[in-house]
Structure 1
Amino acid sequence: MTSGTQALSIKAVETAAQRDAFIRLPWTLYQDDPAWVPPLLQERRDHLNPRKNPFFQTAEARFWLALRAGRTVGRISAQVNHAHLARHGDATGHFGMLEAEDDAETFQALTATAEDWLRAQGMRRISGPFNFSINEELGLLVDGFAAPPYLLMGHARPYYAGHLEHLGYRKQKDLLCYHYDARREPPPPVAGLLRKAARLEELTVRAMDMGRYAQDLSTIMDIFNDAWSENWGFVPMSEAELQSLARDLRPIVRPQSIAIAELDGIPVAMAISLPNVNEAIADLDGRLLPFGWAKLIWRLKVKTTKTARVPLMGVRKAHQGGLMGAMLAFSVIDKIRRAQCALGVEHGELSWVLEDNQPMIRMIEAVGAVPYKTYRLYGRALAA
Structure 2
Amino acid sequence: MSPIVRPVSSKRELAAFLALPRRIYADFADYVAPLDYDRAQLIDPGKSAFWTHGEAAYWLAYDPAGRPVGRISAQVDNLATGPQHEGAGFFGCFDAIDDAEVVAALVATARGYLAGKGKRVMRGPFTLSINAESGLLIEGFTAPPMVLMPWHPPYLRAHLEAAGCHLVKVLHSYAFDRRGSDLGAKLGKLGMERRRKGFSVRPMRMDHLAEDAELGRRLFNGSWAGNWGFVPVSEAEMTAMIKAFRPLLKSEYGVFVEKDGELVGFALFLPNVYEITGDLGGAPSPLGWLRLAWRGLRRPFTGGRAVLFGVASRLVGSVSGASVSLILVDELLRRAGITGVQDLECGWILDDNYAMTSVVEWLGAQSTRRFGVFETSIQPLRAE
For residues 115 and 255 of structure 2, the distance between their equivalents in structure 1, rounded to whole angstroms, comes to 44
For residues 50 and 95 of structure 1, the distance between their equivalents in structure 2, rounded to whole angstroms, comes to 16
Matches within 5 A, 1:181-260: 181-183=177-179, 184-186=181-183, 188-192=185-189, 193-198=191-196, 200=197, 202-260=198-256
Match of 2:52 among 48, 57, 65: 57
Matches within 5 A, 1:145-156: 145-156=141-152
Give the partner amino acid of 1:101. Answer: I
TM-score, normalising length: structure 1: 0.93
Give the partner amino acid of 2:39. Answer: R
Number of positions where the alignment pairs a residue of Structure 1 with one of Structure 2: 377
TM-score, normalising length: structure 2: 0.93
Residue 43 of structure 2 contacts residue 127 of structure 2 at CA under 8 Å; is this kept in 1? no
For residues 71 and 212 of structure 1, the distance between their equivalents in structure 2, rounded to whole angstroms, comes to 48
Give the partner amino acid of 2:226. Answer: E
C-alpha displacement of 1:187: 5.4
Which has the larger displacement, 72-81 or 15-24? 15-24
Match of 1:344 in 2: 340
Post-superposition Cα deviations, 1:316-369, rounded to whole Å, max 9, x if no partner, equal 122233432222112122212122122221112111001111111122223211
Match of 1:131 among 96, 120, 127: 127
For residues 248 and 282 of structure 2, the distance between their equivalents in structure 1, rounded to whole angstroms, comes to 18
Match of 1:13 among 8, 12, 23: 8
For residues 56 and 119 of structure 2, the distance between their equivalents in structure 1, rounded to whole angstroms, comes to 13
For residues 307 and 89 of structure 1, the distance between their equivalents in structure 2, rounded to whole angstroms, comes to 34
Match of 1:366 among 362, 369, 376: 362
For residues 112 and 377 of structure 1, the distance between their equivalents in structure 2, rounded to whole angstroms, comes to 17
Residue 257 of structure 1 contacts residue 335 of structure 1 at CA under 8 Å; is this kept in 2? no
Match of 1:31 among 9, 12, 26: 26
For residues 32 and 245 of structure 1, the distance between their equivalents in structure 2, rounded to whole angstroms, comes to 31
C-alpha displacement of 1:48: 2.4
Which has the larger displacement, 331-340 or 71-80? 331-340
Give the partner amino acid of 1:35. Answer: D
Residue 333 of structure 2 contacts residue 344 of structure 2 at CA under 8 Å; is this kept in 1? no
Match of 1:299 in 2: 295
Match of 1:270 in 2: 266
Match of 1:328 among 324, 327, 333: 324
Residue 75 of structure 1 contacts residue 97 of structure 1 at CA under 8 Å; is this kept in 2? yes
Residue 126 of structure 1 contacts residue 382 of structure 1 at CA under 8 Å; is this kept in 2? yes
1:59/1:322 CA distance change after superposition, 3 Å? closer
Post-superposition Cα deviations, 1:217-271, rounded to whole Å, max 9, x if no partner, equal 1111111011111111111122222222232231221211211101112110012
For residues 87 and 28 of structure 1, the distance between their equivalents in structure 2, rounded to whole angstroms, comes to 39
Post-superposition Cα deviations, 1:103-129, rounded to whole Å, max 9, x if no partner, equal 111111111111111101111110110
1:204/1:81 CA distance change after superposition, 3 Å? same
Which has the larger displacement, 314-323 or 142-151? 314-323
Match of 1:381 in 2: 377
Task: Mark the runs of 5 or more structure 1 residues left unpaired by the alignment.
Answer: none
For residues 59 and 145 of structure 1, the distance between their equivalents in structure 2, rounded to whole angstroms, comes to 31
Post-superposition Cα deviations, 1:28-53, rounded to whole Å, max 9, x if no partner, equal 22112222121111222343222221
Post-superposition Cα deviations, 1:53-95, rounded to whole Å, max 9, x if no partner, equal 1211221111111111111111111101121146755111111
Give the partner amino acid of 1:313. Answer: F
- Root mean square deviation of aligned Cα: 1.7
Residue 40 of structure 2 contacts residue 48 of structure 2 at CA under 8 Å; is this kept in 1? no
Which has the larger displacement, 27-36 or 158-167? 27-36
SS of 2:283's equivalent in the other structure is coil
For residues 12 and 213 of structure 1, the distance between their equivalents in structure 2, rounded to whole angstroms, comes to 39
Match of 2:37 among 30, 34, 42: 42
SS of 2:79's equivalent in the other structure is helix
